[in-house]
């Protein structure tokens, strides 16, 4: 392991790896990524694969619009097929209040050029013929939303970063960070020490531990909650192209994998805060019930497995991203609350701009890590699962 680096990124998920890639792309050298287990093992490999621009606030919509542009071109840029498919996101709406909220959101999304629209239950059924539209009064649909393969995306960024000279150390855990007079001196790992002047905390569920090591004097509340996913056996590909979401069914989301053909998804049953990720029977039964309410034919499909992962949640379900003023050259991009996978391309670009150019045109102010302490919570991010 090298003993010196200009930048040490802690966390080998899609956030840490994409930041490493973008920094290197902008000409930064001597970058190290530390991952305490295998790449993607924290939250990325456990995510639901969805990528959407249908948020309810200006910042997330703009960030996701930029992300989708990058997702679309990722195979070209990184030289690796990440199986990005624009099957859309279809939100099923069951009452006037929901409809009003989504009408407002669609208007905001349209303002930024996201082509979402409100459609009728009949149109929703044309998009997904297997859909049970009983009780559905309308739906919000955006055909440029989609999904990608989290496994492939992690390796895409990791390989591209390596090609640009980034060193990635797996099974290497950050144990402490030495700071003197507000300046970072070194990161101590279980495999040795790395002298460095810059640390990026991309540890998501474990981010509070890293903040503590560096003595970050700001309260950035991030707590890991256990959420779960389900996967079925494959069937005819193309039957369920969009991610279907229903808040009336407790935040259910589900889609058919573009290449594998199984259904994946989940709902908003959560446990925690906890680092335990044992799947639960309660979830297995609950998700099966809700899925078959929305698409009755799924009753005949075999469930292959369930798994659990973290939403590293903040009080407003928006990440904490930015520079920490009290510890020179300490940055955080964590607490993604279930949206890290989809946001990673734009967030990593913005952080790299912030570090290299000292500023970014992207609305990173929205994710200000100091907002919690100031009591300036954002509007709750649109979140399911």
Partner 1 sequence: MSDDPRERIIICRCNDVTLKDIEDIIDSGITDIEEIKRLTRIGMGPCQGRTCLPLVAGIIARKTGKKIEEIELPATRVPIRPVPMGVLAGDMDEE
Residues in touch with partner 1 (CB under 8 A): 38-41, 45, 151-152, 154-155, 170, 231-233, 260, 279, 281, 284-285, 288-289, 291-292, 298-307
Task: HSE, CB side, 13 Å, CA atoms: give it for residue 322.
Answer: 19
Which of residues 137 and 301 has its CB atom nearest to partner 1 in the complex? 301
Which of residues 75 and 195 has its CB atom nearest to partner 1 in the complex? 75
> Is the Cβ–Cβ distance between 61 and 53 less than 8 Å?
yes
Burial class (CB in 10 A: 0-12, 13-18, 19+), 275: exposed
Which of residues 191 and 359 has its CB atom nearest to partner 1 in the complex? 191
**Token pair in block for residue 275:** 């680092």
Which of residues 122 and 281 has its CB atom nearest to partner 1 in the complex? 281
Q: Any idea which residue has 């990026």 for tokens? A: 200
C-alpha span between 383 and 385 (Å, rounded) = 7
Instruction: Report the nearest approach of partner 1 to the CB of residue 42 (Å).
Output: 12
Instruction: Report the nearest approach of partner 1 to the CB of residue 85 (Å).
Output: 17
Order of all β-strands in the sheet with 117-119: 117-119, 138-142, 89-93, 243-246, 252-256, 263-266, 223-232
Cα four-point dihedral sign 208, 212, 215, 218: positive
C-alpha span between 378 and 380 (Å, rounded) = 6
Q: What CA dihedral angle connects 34, 36, 42 and 45, to 10 degrees?
A: 80
Angle CA 153–199–313, to nearest 5: 60
DSSP 229-286: EEEE---STTSS-SEEEESTTSSEEEEE-TTT--EEEE-S--B-S-S-----HHHHHH
Which of residues 260 and 360 has its CB atom nearest to partner 1 in the complex? 260
Instruction: Report the nearest approach of partner 1 to the CB of residue 356 (Å).
Output: 29
Which of residues 18 and 232 has its CB atom nearest to partner 1 in the complex? 232
Which of residues 117 and 231 has its CB atom nearest to partner 1 in the complex? 231
Instruction: Report the nearest approach of partner 1 to the CB of residue 75 (Å).
Output: 16
Instruction: Report the nearest approach of partner 1 to the CB of residue 284 (Å).
Output: 6
Beta bridge partners of 93: 138
Instruction: Report the nearest approach of partner 1 to the CB of residue 291 (Å).
Output: 6
Instruction: Report the nearest approach of partner 1 to the CB of residue 21 (Å).
Output: 17
**Token pair in block for residue 18:** 């994409």
Which of residues 38 and 275 has its CB atom nearest to partner 1 in the complex? 38
Instruction: Report the nearest approach of partner 1 to the CB of residue 145 (Å).
Output: 24
**Token pair in block for residue 204:** 């998501």
């Amino acid at each position: 392991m090298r003993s010196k680096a200009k930048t040490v990124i802690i966390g080998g998920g899609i956030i840490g790896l994409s930041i490493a890639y973008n920094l290197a792309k902008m000409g930064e050298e001597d970058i190290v990524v530390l991952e305490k287990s295998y790449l993607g093992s924290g939250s990325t490999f456990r995510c639901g694969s969805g990528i959407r621009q249908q948020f309810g606030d200006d910042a997330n919509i703009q960030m996701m619009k930029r992300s989708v542009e990058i997702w679309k071109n990722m195979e070209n840029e990184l030289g690796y097929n990440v199986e990005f498919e624009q099957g859309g996101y279809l939100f099923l709406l069951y009452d006037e209040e929901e409809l009003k909220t989504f009408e407002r959101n669609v208007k905001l999304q349209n303002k930024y050029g996201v082509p979402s629209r409100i459609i009728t239950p009949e149109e929703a059924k044309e998009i997904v013929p297997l859909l049970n539209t009983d009780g559905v009064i309308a739906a919000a649909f955006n055909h440029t939303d989609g999904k990608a393969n989290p496994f492939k995306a992690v390796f895409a960024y990791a390989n591209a970063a390596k090609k640009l000279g980034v060193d990635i150390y797996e099974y290497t855990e950050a144990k402490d960070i030495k700071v003197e007079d507000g300046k970072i001196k070194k990161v101590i790992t279980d495999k040795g020490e790395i002298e460095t002047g810059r640390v990026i905390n991309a540890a998501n569920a474990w981010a509070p531990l890293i903040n503590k090591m560096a003595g970050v004097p700001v309260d950035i509340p991030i707590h890991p909650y256990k959420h779960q996913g389900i996967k079925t056996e494959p069937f005819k590909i193309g039957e369920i192209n969009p991610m279907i979401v229903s808040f009336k069914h407790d935040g259910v989301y589900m889609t058919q994998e573009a290449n594998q053909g199984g259904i994946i998804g989940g709902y908003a049953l959560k446990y925690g805060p906890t680092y335990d990720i044992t799947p639960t029977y309660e979830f297995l039964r609950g998700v099966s019930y809700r899925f078959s309410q929305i698409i009755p034919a799924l009753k005949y499909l075999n469930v292959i497995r369930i798994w659990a992962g973290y939403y590293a949640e903040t009080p407003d379900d928006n990440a904490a991203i930015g520079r920490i003023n009290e510890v020179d050259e300490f940055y955080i991009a964590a607490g993604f609350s279930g949206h890290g996978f989809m946001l990673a391309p734009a967030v990593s670009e913005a952080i790299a701009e912030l570090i290299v150019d000292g500023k970014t045109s992207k609305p990173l102010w929205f994710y200000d890590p100091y907002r919690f302490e100031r009591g300036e919570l954002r509007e709750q991010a649109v979140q399911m699962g």
